[in-house]
Amino acid sequence: DRTLRELADAQGFRIGSGVEAWLIDGEQRYRDTSAAQFNSLTPGNEMKWGSVEPSRGQFNWSGADTIVATAQANGQLVYGHTLVWHSQLPSWFSNGGFSPEEVRTLMTDHIATTAGRYAGDIYAWDVVNEPFNEDGSMRSSIFYDNLGTGYIAEALRAARAADPEAKLYLNDYNIEGINAKSDAMYELARSLLEQGVPLDGIGLQSHLILGQVPADMQQNIQRFADLGLEVTITELDVRIQLPADQAELATQAEDYRKVVTACLNVDGCTGVTIWGITDAHSWIPDTFPGYGAALPYDENYAAKPAYQATHEAL
C-alpha cells in the first residue's frame, strides 16, 4: 500500500508531521514512521526562542539541527516553527525589563540569527505565531506591548532579510472557520500585502475538538488563497474525551478527511501537517486534561481510522 507521502508527492502536496528530536533520537518506530509517511517535518519545540537561546548569547541548536539533518537525509522539507511567539520565550528575555527599543533589536536579532542559520534549508517559517485574541483584537505579548501592531511587519521584513528563500507565514489557532479571529487575520493579511510587507502564507493550526470541523473551513481557506496567499494546515490534531470508543474514532476519521479534503480542494492550500505521529506522544493530554487520542496512530503505532481517512482523502 502506498504511504501518505507517496500519495502527496504524486500531487505536489505536503503532508507533514510535527516532530521532536528526542523521539527521533530515541524511538525506532517514531523515526521510521516519520520518514516513511511524511514529506515535511516541523520541529515541535526545537526552533522556539527558549529552546535555541536559553541564556542570553548561549545558543543550543542541537535539537533543531537534528530535525533539519533528518529531513535532509529523508528528502523531506522543513517547516520552521516559530520565530516570534508570546510563549516558550527564554526568561532572560521575558523578564529582562527591556525598553521598547531593546525589545525591537532583540527580536530582529533573534530572527536574523535563527532564520539566518537555516537559510536555504527551510520551506517556510511561522514568522509570527498566535498574534490574536479570540475576539480578533491583538494579543498582549512582550512584542505587542512594546512595539504595537507594527511588530508583525518588522518581524516579516527581518525574516525576509535573513532567509530570502523561505515562505513567510502568520500562524494561529481557531482561525479554521470564518469568525472574528479569522476575520482579523484576513484584515491583517490584506493590509500587510497592500503595504508591500513580505507575507506568503497563513497557517491554520487546526487543533480541533472531535466533530467540530467548521463547515465553512474550505470557504475560509479560499478567501485567504484569493488574496494570493498560500495556506497550510500547520498543526492538525482532533482531540477526544478519553476513553475514545470506536464510534468516536470513526467520527475523528471523518474530521481528518474533511480537513485534508478542504485543503486539497483549494488551489493555494499546499499542505497539511499533523501535530505529532502517535497518541503515545502528543501535547494534548498535558494541555487538555481528560482529552487525547488525537493523532492518526495509536499508542502502539497501529494506524487508526484517521490514518485510513487521510490516506483515502489524498
Residue 90 interacts with ligand XIL (CB under 6 A): yes or no: no
> β-pairing, 40-43 with 230-241?
unpaired
Residue 129 interacts with ligand XIL (CB under 6 A): yes or no: yes
| Rounded Cα distance, 200 and 217, in Å | 20
- Bridge partners for 132 per DSSP: 138
User: Hey, what's the cell of 242?
Assistant: 478519553
| Rounded Cα distance, 125 and 94, in Å | 22
- The dihedral region occupied by 16, where left means phi > 0, alpha psi between -120 and 50, and beta the remainder, is beta
Find the catalytic residue in 130, 230, 235, 248.
235
Instruction: Compute how many residues bind ligand XIL; rule: CB under 6 A.
Output: 6
Pick the binder of ligand XIL from 16, 43, 44, 292 (CB under 6 A). 44
Residue 206 interacts with ligand XIL (CB under 6 A): yes or no: no
Residue 125 interacts with ligand XIL (CB under 6 A): yes or no: no
| Rounded Cα distance, 53 and 87, in Å | 14
State in angstroms the smallest separation of the CB of 313 from ligand XIL: 23
Nearest-CA neighbor of 310 among 270, 274, 265, 267? 274
Site for ligand XIL in 145-204 (CB under 6 A): none
Question: Which amino acid does the sequence have at 230?
Answer: E
User: Which string of x and - marks every residue 45-64 that binds ligand XIL (by CB under 6 A)?
Assistant: x-------------------
Q: Is 230 a catalytic site residue? A: no
State in angstroms the smallest separation of the CB of 301 from ligand XIL: 19
State in angstroms the smallest separation of the CB of 120 from ligand XIL: 23
State in angstroms the smallest separation of the CB of 213 from ligand XIL: 18
Pick the binder of ligand XIL from 186, 283, 291, 307 (CB under 6 A). 283
CB nearer to ligand XIL: give 182 or 205.
Answer: 205
Nearest-CA neighbor of 235 among 7, 40, 3? 40
Distance separating the N- and C-terminal Cα atoms of the chain: 13
Question: Which amino acid does the sequence have at 250?
Answer: A
Q: Where does this chain bind ligand XIL (CB under 6 A)?
A: 44-45, 129, 205, 235, 283
Q: Which residues are catalytic?
A: 235
